[in-house]
Amino acid sequence: MDFCEAVKLAQIRYIDGETLRFILEASRSCHPDEFAAVLRADGEVVKEVLLLPGTISSDESALLRLHMLPIDPTVCGTVHSHPSSSMRPSGADLILFSKFGRIHIIVSFPYDERSWKAYTHSGKEIELEVVG
């Protein structure tokens, strides 16, 4: 990890437990289609999920309409589900990560507390501690 990446990541170290439970339930509810949304942080903690109007989901992908995103400096990244059990970012995921946000979460089937991973904008896996 380079210095600039480390400085950016120092700001987001946690995810609120209620927010994570919402993400897992929303992903479970959308299955077998993908769930996708934008994350908002309060300081070092991912605290909210923003559902963007016009998001399109299928069993193969989800398309976020980022032009619908409000101007908001607390927006920190994205979350989406993989209907399979893979939590690895696809090539399309890595392109999105590199263009938008600092933190990206992928959740996978069966959408439980062990079925998610967080990644940096460059696709490196990182740990987010669940709080609350």
Rounded to an integer, what distance in angstroms lies between the CA atom of residue 18 and that of residue 20? 5
Q: Which of 40, 43, 50, 47 is nearest to 16 (CA)?
A: 47
What share of the chain has pLDDT > 90, as a percent? 75
Is this prediction's pTM over 0.85? yes
Average pLDDT rounded to a whole number, residues 17-24:
98
Residues 104/78, Cβ–Cβ less than 8 Å: yes
Catalytic residues, which ones? 34
How much is the pLDDT for 75? 95
- The full set of domains in the chain, from first to last, is 3-131 (3.40.140.10)
What is the radius of gyration, based on Cα positions, of the chain?
13
- How confident is the model over 27-65, as pLDDT tens digits? 999 999 999 999 999 999 999 999 998 888 888 888 888
How much is the pLDDT for 18? 98
Q: Which residue is listed with tokens 């607390």?
A: 74
Task: Assign 121 to helix, strand or coil.
Answer: coil
Q: Which residue has the higher pLDDT, 8 or 25?
A: 25
